[in-house]
Amino acid sequence: MNPAVFGKFAAVSFQKEIAYRFDYFMAVLNGFLYVFVFTALWRALYAQGGGAAGFTAASITAYAVVAMAIRISFSMDDTTIAIKVRDGSIATDLIRPVSFFMMNLAQCIGFSAFHTVARGVPILIFSIFLFKLDIPFTARGAALGALSLVMGYLILFMLNYLFGLIAFWVIEVFPFQLTKYGLLNLLGGSVIPVDLFPAFMKPFLVLLPFQHIFYTPAAILVGHTAPERALVMLAEQAAWVGIMGAASLLAWNAGKSRLVIQGG
């Protein structure tokens, strides 16, 4: 897709979010509520000064804030594809001279950019001063963290994209979306760091992409992960980007063919 066209789709999506001001204020309030609840919970659990899985009261608080800021910044509309399939408007997208995948990615980036600027960054800055967070900063850590954020975002986008394409095969995708939300909340690392999961679960987590959406970038950014381990985690993220990309292409081609057959 032409970069100018890609930017236009993203800009339109960003501007649409600005129009809903009441929703924005409620979303900001909701974001602060999440941060307060989870930081209070972790600070209480680590109040005795002990540590678990390499975390202290200070580091788990920093992790909780950063992970929640990432989750808020990664907000995207994951219902668009299913709605378009249901009402038939996806037929218009099929005749557009642009990639359906790239068009949706551009729209999601515009959506997320608004929530990053309007919610994620302000909440992070406010929390840093409120909780006196000590987040170590190095040029190397920032570069690795930024790369991890990009790949984590792509994994989440393609996860949503794949679940949206289920609409080609079923009438109601809500049960599948609900399952996705549950797995993402439990295994993504925005609520509970992967380090704190029971040992018997960790081999199974490696087989799933969820931990690389929120946990990996947050752990790298707050310095919880050693540099050597960070490189391994980035390689795992890159592998998942490739796997999800291939799955997205296959699912789109299969779904598009099915839609043509149904349309006669």
What is the gyration radius of the CA atoms in the chain, in angstroms? 19
Number of domains in the chain: 1
**pLDDT confidence of residue 261:** 39
Is residue 262 pLDDT above 60, yes or no?
no
Is the pLDDT confidence value at 263 over 60? no
* The predicted structure's pLDDT at residue 21: 64
CA distance 215 to 217: 6
Per the prediction, the chain carries an average pLDDT of: 86
Which residue, 241, 223, 59, is CA-closest to 140? Answer: 223
Tokens describing residue 77: 């509309």
- Which pTM was predicted? 0.91
Distance CA 53, CA 36 (A): 22
Tens-place pLDDT, residues 164-191: 999 989 888 889 999 999 999 889 988 8
Q: Mean pLDDT, to the nearest integer, of 69-75?
A: 92
Write the pLDDT tens digit of every residue in 209-254. Answer: 999 999 999 999 998 888 889 999 999 999 999 999 999 999 999 8
Mean pLDDT on 35-40: 80
3-state helix, strand, coil in the chain (%, to 5): 75, 0, 25
Q: What average pLDDT score do residues 9-24 get? A: 74
Domain that holds residue 113: 3-262
Burial of 124 (0-12, 13-18, 19+ CB in 10 A): buried
Cβ atoms < 10 Å from Cβ of 176: 16
* Phi and psi at residue 55, to the nearest 5°: -100, 150
* pLDDT of 23 strictly over 80: no
Q: Mean pLDDT over residues 14-26, rounded?
A: 70
